[in-house]
């Protein structure tokens, strides 16, 4: 040690020397984590090389060799071009709204805006008036959205659902599916655990039947079989049929997720609620469900993300969601070129990723906030 | 339980039978007139036949036929409600009355005409299975393809036609089978097979997706018959006749040289055939349940057959499909319409 003596007999420690440069900072971190041995160094170098190749490949395709402007596929008609972005630009309106008339598209945007404001009001803790936002979300928003999108109210011209498409349909199916499956799931989960035999049997039957068939089958039934059983002239809107199908399907899955949460609540909680003299709705609404739902947030979000992506299946019954409208756009002979298909699919994938990633980020945040009590 | 289920199913089937029975009794034309639009089933995306353009409007040969029917009834080609239908839903949608007609690249076959209760009103497009090879192979005819490997979509009649053709010509081939058009394209371009086969109209479309379309040629042989045409339900002869004669009007219009541009002047023509066509002579519209100028409305709305063809699949479009057998009968093709008389 290099202690110095100031006065006789007192030892004063010298100020600590900074650790050697090879131990701290960027270099230290690198040598500790990436180059600690020759095998690690080798793996690091290989990974770096692979990453470099992939990133450069993607950049080259999406930016450097991409075509940015043009009016038809001929600009992309060359052997070595990357992405064909003019295809996306030219059809962007369609990808977003389907065949929704240009002059009415403000209605879609207004609906998005209203929904966003309501969701913000419900989801961001700092905004006051949760109760009113909640009531509006349940009572007002669905009807106002329908009125805006479909029209026929407030003097707006009717835009039939066959004109809807693209991201609009994806969002409508996903939102309605998510919003509808949640209450259906809670009811079915409670029903399956109920002591009333009829309620239990009906719930079990419904869950097991719906869960045992693929979503495609349900959509096919709703679009192909149902019209045969209905008397002539009675026909449900195709989109509405798909919406109900999606809602019931994800409701069955949601029920099992929520039931998992209900089973994790100790019996003592139920008994405590009973001993307080709470009624069944009070017991469930105030004691059991808040705990149970919190436990299964990852499972619920899993279902939601899955559902958001499953919406693409509606394209097999001739409804154009985002993926469907991109595929339909690819059949436009004007845009035939080697790179168009890839460009369209990458665009669709990116939009889906943005949607699903936002859902999962919000849920991660929510989970953290709700688990303050039992943070480990 | 089983018994109950069976009973329920039987009831449902009987009910469905009643429902379809009822729909057949009603006059489709009256329903259409009351509704104000023709519900027309189209393909959700077949290049040149029905696909949405940049503005989202449906375009294509099949789509224009729907517009022609609407024009004949309402004098307004826009009064069509297009219902995109996948191959699996199309016939149910027609039988259940969800659509009034299909104009959706559907091949006319015996089983569809008989057992399925459908009625084909004509052949808008004579298609057939074709073969495409890389130009560098130097092959000029399908007869030179003995021993070739062929890329073909699985589970389709395409596969059967291919087997039939090679067997009947005493040739062998190696099938390279895929599920989807994208996979077929990639495999063929990567050189995994020598020949690419699908419907000829599809070959022209797929070729445009290759890196170098000029490096591939479509061979002249057509190895199967795929007559594609509009379909209606059986049991409503008035509607069937109307759709059939809309198609004939398109052909007769071309034969008589009546186009979208000159149809107004043609009203003053002295040619008796033209006079009957434009309704200046005879009472032909009434028999169809339409007005006297029904044929004029069609031509005014969408043009004659040649104009529709040129606009959607002809040599000036990216697809560049020559008229070939789809030419009029007097120009070496198969398109033939009975006279208006």
For residue B21, what pLDDT is reported?
43
Residues A152 and A171 in one domain: no
Cite the beta strand spans of A10-63 per DSSP E: 11-12
Which has more confidence, A374 or B308? B308
Q: Which residues lie below 8 Å from residue A376, measured CB to CB, with a gap of 6+?
A: none
Neighbours of A213 (CB within 10 A): 13
Q: Is B86 left (phi over 0), alpha (psi -120 to 50) or beta?
A: beta
Over chain B, what is the mean pLDDT? 87
Identify the DSSP state of B136.
Answer: G
The stretches of B177-258 forming alpha helices (DSSP H) are 181-189, 200-207, 237-255
Range in A287-301, B18-32, B35-49 the model is least confident about: B18-32
Q: What is the mean pLDDT of residues B261-281?
A: 91
Is B275 a residue whose pLDDT tops 90? Answer: yes
Buried/exposed code over A91-103 (b: 16+ C-beta within 10 A; e: otherwise): bebbbbbbbbeee
Higher pLDDT, A339 or A22: A339
Look at residue B130 and give its three-state secondary structure.
strand
Calpha distance A44→A15 (Å, rounded): 37
Q: Which domain holds residue A108?
A: 101-158
The alpha-carbon radius of gyration of chain B (Å, integer) is: 22
Position A134 scores a pLDDT of: 85
C-alpha B333/C-alpha B123 separation (Å) is 12
- Number of domains making up chain A: 2
A6 pLDDT band, cuts 50/70/90, is low
Residue A5 domain flag: no
Q: Are strands B173-178 and B148-153 parallel, antiparallel or unpaired?
A: parallel
Whether A222 is in a domain gets the answer: yes
Position B7 confidence tier, pLDDT thresholds 50, 70, 90: very low
What distance in Å separates residue A315's CA from the closest CA in chain B?
9
Residue B17 is predicted with a pLDDT of 43
Average pLDDT over residues A336-361: 90
CA–CA separation, A29 and B137 (whole Å): 59
Task: Tell whether the model's pLDDT for residue B37 goes beyond 90.
Answer: yes
Q: Tell me if chain B has a CB within 8 Å of the CB of A343.
A: no
Domains and CATH numbers, chain B: 25-126+228-331 (3.40.190.10), 129-224 (3.40.190.10)
Which chain B residue lies closest to A80 (C-alpha atoms)? B211
The structure tokens listed for B329 are: 């009968």
ipTM of the complex, rounded to two decimals: 0.80
Q: Could you say which DSSP state residue B137 is in?
A: G
Q: Which parts of chain B are beta strand (E)?
A: 38-42, 51-52, 58-59, 80-84, 101-102, 118-120, 125-127, 129-134, 148-153, 173-178, 195-199, 216-218, 226-228, 231-233
A231 and B19 within 8 Å at the Cβ level: the answer is yes
Q: What are the φ/ψ torsions at residue B232 (nearest 5 degrees)?
A: -130, 175
Q: Are A296 and A190 contained in the same domain?
A: yes
Judge contact between A165 and A321, C-beta under 8 A: yes
Q: Which residues of B touch A159 (CB under 8 A)?
A: none
Structure pTM? 0.83
Q: Which of residues 297-316 of A touch B (CB under 8 A)?
A: 315-316
- Judge whether A242 lies within some domain: yes
**Does residue A226 lie within any of the structural domains?**
yes
Restricting to B residues 28-57, those with a Cβ less than 8 Å away from any Cβ of A are: 44-48, 51-57
Looking at the fold, whether A260 and A282 belong to one and the same domain comes out as: yes
Mean pLDDT of A91-120: 91
Do residues B142 and B221 touch, judged by C-beta distance below 8 A?
yes
Q: What percent of chain B has pLDDT over 90?
A: 53
Structural domain contains residue A146: yes
Of residues B157 and A315, more confidently modeled = A315
Residue A87 lies in a domain: no
In a domain, A195, yes or no: yes
Please give the average per-residue pLDDT across A38-65, as a whole number.
92
Report CA torsion sign: B104, B105, B110, B112. negative
- DSSP-derived letter for residue A282 is H
Q: From the CA atom positions of chain A, what is the Rg in Å?
A: 28
Same domain, yes or no: A147 and A193: no
The helix (H) or strand (E) run that includes residue A5 is: strand A4-5
Q: Which of A279, A313, A347 delimits the end of a domain?
A: A313
Instruction: Find where tokens 């057992």 sit.
Output: B115
Work out the mean pLDDT of chain A and round it to a whole number: 87
* pLDDT band at A374; cut points 50, 70, 90: low
Residue A52 inside a domain? The answer is: no
| Residues A203 and A142 grouped into a single domain | no
Closest-CA distance of chain B to residue A210, Å = 17
Instruction: Read off the pLDDT band of B262 (50, 70, 90).
Output: very high
Mean pLDDT along residues A40-54: 93
Q: Which of A18-27, B73-82, B112-121, B321-330 has the lowest mean pLDDT?
A: A18-27
Give pairs for B328-331: CB < 8 Å, separation 24+. B328/B251, B328/B254, B328/B255, B330/B255
Residue of A nearest to B91 (CA): A224
Asked if residue A187 and residue A288 are part of one domain, the reply reads yes
First-residue to last-residue Cα distance in chain A = 41
Whether residues A328 and B54 touch (CB distance < 8 A) is answered with no
pLDDT at A31 over 70: yes
Banded pLDDT at B13 (limits 50, 70, 90): very low
| CATH number, domain with residue A301 | 1.10.3720.10
- Domain end marker among A265, A283, A313: A313
Per residue in B64-89, pLDDT (tens digit) is 999 999 999 999 999 999 998 888 78
Phi-psi region of B105 (alpha: psi -120 to 50; beta: other; left: phi over 0): left
Cα–Cα distance, A347 to A341 (Å, whole number):
10
Instruction: Quickly count: other Cβ atoms within 10 Å of residue A327's Cβ.
Output: 19
Taking contacts as CB-CB distances below 8 angstroms, the residues of chain A near B95 are: 228
pLDDT at A375: 53
Sheet holding B216-218, edge to edge: B173-178, B148-153, B195-199, B129-134, B216-218
CB contact under 8 A, B85 and A98: no
The predicted-structure confidence for A212-267, as pLDDT tens digits, reads as follows 999 989 988 887 778 777 776 666 788 888 898 999 999 999 999 999 999 999 99
Give the pLDDT confidence score for residue B39 in this predicted structure. 93
Q: Is the pLDDT of residue B20 over 60?
A: no
Question: Do A111 and A202 lie in a common domain?
Answer: no
Q: What is the pLDDT of residues A107-131, one digit of tens each?
A: 999 999 999 999 888 888 888 888 8
Nearest to A111 by CA among A145, A77, A86, A138: A145
Interface of B with A in 75-134 (CB under 8 A): 81-86, 88-89, 92-93, 95-98
Is A330 close to B23, i.e. CB distance below 8 A? Answer: no
Q: How confident is the model at residue A156 (pLDDT cuts 50, 70, 90)?
A: confident
- Where is pLDDT greater, at A3 or B263? B263
Say yes or no: A112 and A175 in one domain: no
CB contact under 8 A, A160 and B81: yes
Task: Tell me the C-alpha to C-alpha distance, in Å, between residue A110 and each of A82, A140, B82.
Answer: 36, 14, 27
Is residue B232 a contact partner of residue B94, using CB atoms and an 8 Å limit? Answer: yes
Q: How confident is the model at residue B14 (pLDDT cuts 50, 70, 90)?
A: very low
Model confidence at A137, in pLDDT bands (50, 70, 90)? confident
Would you state the pLDDT for residue A373?
62
Contact B279, B285 (CB under 8 A): yes
Whole-number pLDDT of residue B155: 66
| Residue A80 pLDDT exceeds 50 | yes
Of B22, B46, B83, the CB nearest to A331: B46
Q: Give the nearest partner residue to A73 out of B16, B20, B318, using CB atoms.
A: B318
In angstroms, rounded to a whole number, what is the distance separating the alpha carbons of residues B137 and B135?
5
CA atoms of A269 and A267, how far apart (whole Å): 5
- Cα(B38)–Cα(B79) distance, integer angstroms: 7
Tell me, yes or no, whether A304 and A220 share the same domain: yes
Q: In this structure, are A185 and A242 located in the same domain?
A: yes
> Distance between CA B66 and CA B62 in Å, rounded?
7
> What band does B44 get if pLDDT is binned at 50, 70 and 90?
confident
- CB contact residues (below 8 A), chain A span 60-89, against chain B: 72-73, 77-79
Q: Residue B87's Cα: distance from chain center in Å?
A: 13
Helices (H) and strands (E) in chain B, counts: 14, 14
Residues A219, A307, single domain; the answer is: yes
Kindly list the distances between the CA atom of residue B133 and the CA atoms of A4, B193, B202, B217, in Å, as whole numbers in the listed order: 90, 9, 14, 6
Token pair for residue B6? 């069976």
Which residues in A lie closer than 8 A to residue B20 (C-beta atoms)?
Answer: 228, 232
Which chain A residues are closer than 8 Å to B56 by Cβ? Answer: 93-94, 98-99, 165
Cα dihedral A223, A227, A233, A238, rounded to 10, equals -10
Q: Are residues A275 and A197 part of one domain?
A: yes
Q: Which of A171-180, A350-359, B209-218, B286-295 has the lowest mean pLDDT?
A: B209-218
Tokens of A229: 């059983």
pLDDT of residue B16: 44
Side-chain half-sphere CA neighbours of B13 within 13 A: 6
CB nearest to B19's CB, from A73, A228, A320:
A228
Give the angle subtended at the CA of A51 by the CAs of A48 and A56, to the nearest 5°. 125
Looking at A285, A313, A341, the residue that finishes a domain is A313
């Amino acid at each position: 040690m290099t202690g110095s003596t100031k006065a006789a007999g007192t030892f004063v420690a010298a100020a600590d020397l900074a650790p050697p440069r090879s131990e701290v900072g960027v270099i230290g971190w690198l040598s500790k984590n990436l180059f600690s041995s020759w095998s690690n160094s080798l793996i690091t170098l290989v990974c770096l090389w692979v990453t470099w190749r992939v990133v450069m490949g993607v950049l080259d395709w999406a930016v450097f060799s991409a075509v940015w402007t043009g009016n038809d596929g001929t600009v992309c008609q060359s052997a070595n071009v990357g992405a064909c972005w003019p295809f996306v630009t030219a059809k962007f309106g369609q990808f977003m709204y389907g065949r929704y008339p240009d002059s009415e598209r403000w209605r879609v945007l207004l609906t998005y805006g209203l929904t966003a404001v309501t969701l913000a009001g419900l989801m961001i803790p700092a905004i006051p008036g949760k109760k009113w936002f909640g009531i509006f979300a349940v009572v007002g928003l669905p009807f106002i959205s329908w009125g805006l999108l479909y029209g026929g109210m407030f003097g707006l011209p009717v835009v039939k659902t066959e004109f809807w498409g693209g991201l609009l349909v994806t969002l409508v199916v996903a939102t309605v599916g998510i919003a509808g499956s949640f209450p259906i799931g809670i009811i079915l989960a409670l029903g399956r655990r109920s002591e009333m035999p009829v309620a239990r049997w009906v719930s079990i039957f419904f869950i097991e039947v719906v869960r045992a068939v693929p979503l495609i089958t349900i959509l096919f039934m709703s679009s192909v079989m149902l019209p045969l059983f209905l008397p002539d002239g009675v026909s449900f809107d195709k989109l509405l049929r798909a919406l109900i199908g999606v809602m019931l399907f994800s409701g069955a899955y949601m029920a099992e997720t929520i039931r998992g949460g209900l089973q994790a609540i100790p019996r003592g909680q139920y008994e405590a609620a009973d001993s307080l003299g709470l009624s069944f709705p009070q017991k469930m609404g105030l004691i059991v469900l808040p705990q149970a739902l919190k436990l299964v947030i990852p499972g619920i979000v899993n279902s939601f993300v899955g559902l958001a992506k499953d919406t693409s299946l509606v394209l097999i019954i001739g409804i154009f969601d985002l993926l469907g409208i991109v595929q339909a756009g690819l059949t436009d002979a004007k845009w035939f070129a080697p790179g168009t298909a890839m460009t369209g699919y990458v665009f669709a994938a990116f939009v889906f990723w943005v949607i699903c990633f936002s859902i999962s980020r919000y849920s991660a945040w929510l989970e953290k906030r709700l688990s303050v009590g039992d943070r480990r | 339980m089983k018994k109950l289920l069976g009973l329920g199913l039987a009831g449902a089937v009987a009910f469905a039978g009643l429902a379809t029975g009822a729909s057949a009794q009603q006059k489709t034309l009256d329903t259409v007139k009351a509704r104000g639009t023709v519900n027309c089933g189209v393909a959700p995306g077949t290049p040149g036949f029905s696909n949405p353009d940049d503005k989202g409007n449906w375009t294509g040969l099949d789509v224009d036929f729907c517009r022609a029917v609407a024009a004949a009834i309402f004098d307004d080609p826009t009064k069509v409600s297009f219902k995109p239908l996948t191959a699996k839903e199309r016939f149910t949608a027609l039988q259940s009355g969800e659509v009034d007609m299909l104009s959706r690249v559907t091949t006319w076959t015996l089983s569809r005409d008989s057992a399925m209760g459908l009625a084909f009103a004509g052949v808008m497009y004579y298609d057939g299975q074709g073969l495409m090879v890389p130009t560098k192979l130097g092959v000029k005819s399908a007869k030179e393809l003995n021993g070739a490997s062929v890329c073909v979509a699985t589970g389709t009649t395409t596969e059967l036609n291919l087997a039939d053709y090679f067997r009947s010509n005493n040739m062998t081939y190696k099938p390279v089978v895929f599920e989807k058009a994208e996979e077929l394209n990639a495999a063929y371009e990567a050189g995994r097979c020598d020949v690419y086969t699908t419907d000829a109209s599809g070959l022209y479309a797929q070729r445009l997706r290759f890196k170098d379309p000029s490096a591939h040629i479509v061979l002249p042989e057509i190895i199967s018959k795929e007559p594609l045409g509009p379909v209606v339900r059986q049991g409503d002869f008035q509607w069937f006749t109307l759709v059939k004669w809309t198609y004939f009007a398109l052909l007769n219009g071309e034969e008589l040289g009546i186009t979208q541009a000159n149809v107004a002047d043609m009203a003053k023509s002295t040619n008796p055939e033209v006079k009957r066509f434009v309704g200046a002579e005879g009472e032909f519209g009434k028999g169809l349940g339409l007005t006297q100028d029904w044929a004029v409305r069609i031509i005014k709305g969408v043009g004659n057959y040649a104009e529709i063809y040129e606009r959607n699949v002809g040599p000036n479009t990216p697809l560049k499909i020559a008229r070939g057998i789809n030419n009029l009968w007097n120009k070496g093709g198969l398109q033939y319409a009975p006279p208006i008389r």
